């Protein structure tokens, strides 16, 4: 499998605080990777570091052979990073359709295709982002990232705070993205049992370091390992 993203010896944080130390991993083209760990271990910092909104102390991040370290966040986005932050950051005063068209770049993810993928958004296309439910706002945040036609989708806690029925709908959409569409994704998630069946590989972070790295299906079959690192089983 061709490498899409290669992270080597990454040491990063905020201000003078180092949050991540010696982070190294490879993500293949079309591969979905889960990032697991307890609260405060550096999961969001890892996503933020790829996007370019942290301070990098050392290490490299290479996307399709291009070093990202010297590039600003908007330059990284132009190279193919689609970001769905934990806060969603949709344009609340704009309509659903304006949210999608404002960031759109040429590619297979057209407005019609996005509406086909998220029918709820088509129904709400004239509503403002702020008028949507939490689940609909998350759908909009994902659709807006897809509208940029990314090579790699970065999702930070996409199911957090959502009703169970909406969580299942979003997980189904993510599964289609990575399995049927072949979109590479790095997904931060606290609930292992929700994300392991969708992803090919998994990183587990603890105190800013990788303590486990391997296939998701093997981890799913080892509840003792999940209990050790996360305090929960896969069931």
Quote the CA–CA distance of 66 and 190 in Å, as a whole number: 30
Residue 205 has a CB neighbour count (10 Å cut-off) of 24
The domain 1-80+151-159+183-235 having CATH identifier 1.10.375.10: the answer here is no
- What pLDDT is stored for residue 232 in this prediction? 63
pLDDT given at position 65: 95
Cβ atoms of 201 and 213 within 8 Å: the answer is yes
Note whether 78 and 150 are within 8 A (CB): no
Cβ proximity of 26 and 5 under 8 Å: yes
Q: Which residues pair with 62 in a beta bridge?
A: 6, 67
pLDDT of amino acid 101: 97
CA gap 139, 128 in Å, rounded: 14
SS3 218: helix
Mention every residue, 6+ apart, whose C-beta is less than 8 A from residue 144: 90, 99, 100, 103
How many Cβ atoms are within 10 Å of 70's Cβ, its own excluded? 8
- Residue ranges of domains in the chain: 1-80+151-159+183-235, 82-150
For residue 184, the Cα-to-chain-centroid distance in whole angstroms is 9
Question: What pLDDT does 234 receive?
Answer: 46
Minimal CA–CA distance to 146: which of 191, 61, 80?
Answer: 80
Check residue 108 and report its DSSP letter. S
Using alpha carbons, list the distances in angstroms from residue 194 to 12, 60, 85, 87, 148.
28, 30, 18, 20, 26
Over its length of 235 residues, how does the chain's per-residue pLDDT go in tens digits? 699 999 999 999 999 999 999 999 999 999 999 999 999 999 999 999 999 999 999 999 999 999 999 999 999 999 999 999 999 999 999 999 999 999 999 999 999 999 999 999 999 999 999 999 999 999 999 999 999 999 999 999 999 989 999 999 999 999 999 999 999 999 999 889 889 999 999 999 999 999 999 999 999 998 888 888 887 654 4
**183: three-class secondary structure by DSSP:** coil
Identify the pLDDT of residue 223. Answer: 84
Instruction: Return the C-alpha torsion angle 186, 131, 115, 146, nearest 10.
Output: -30
Dihedral angle sign, alpha carbons of residues 212, 213, 218, 221: positive
Q: What does the alpha-carbon distance between residue 139 and residue 229 come to, in Å, rounded to a whole number?
A: 30
């Amino acid at each position: 499998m061709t490498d899409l993203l290669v992270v080597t010896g990454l040491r990063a944080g905020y201000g003078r605080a180092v949050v991540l130390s010696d982070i190294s991993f490879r993500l293949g083209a079309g591969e979905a990777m889960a990032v697991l760990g307890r609260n405060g271990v550096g999961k969001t910092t890892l996503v933020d570091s790829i996007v370019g909104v942290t301070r990098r102390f050392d290490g490299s991040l290479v996307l399709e052979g291009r070093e990202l370290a010297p590039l600003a966040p908007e330059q990284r986005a132009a190279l193919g990073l689609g970001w769905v932050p934990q806060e969603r950051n949709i344009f609340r005063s704009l309509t659903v359709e304006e949210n999608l068209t404002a960031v759109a770049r040429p590619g297979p993810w057209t407005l019609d295709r996005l509406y086909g993928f998220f029918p709820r958004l088509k129904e709400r296309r004239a509503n403002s982002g702020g008028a949507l439910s939490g689940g609909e706002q998350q759908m909009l945040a994902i659709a807006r990232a897809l509208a940029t036609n990314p090579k790699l989708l970065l999702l930070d806690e996409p199911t957090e705070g959502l009703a169970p029925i909406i969580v299942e709908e979003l997980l189904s959409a993510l599964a289609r993205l990575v399995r049927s569409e072949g979109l590479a994704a790095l997904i931060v998630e606290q609930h292992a049992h929700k994300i392991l069946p969708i992803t090919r590989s998994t990183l587990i972070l603890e105190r800013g370091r990788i303590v486990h790295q391997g296939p998701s299906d093997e981890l799913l079959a080892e509840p003792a390992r999940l209990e050790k690192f996360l305090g929960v089983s896969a069931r």
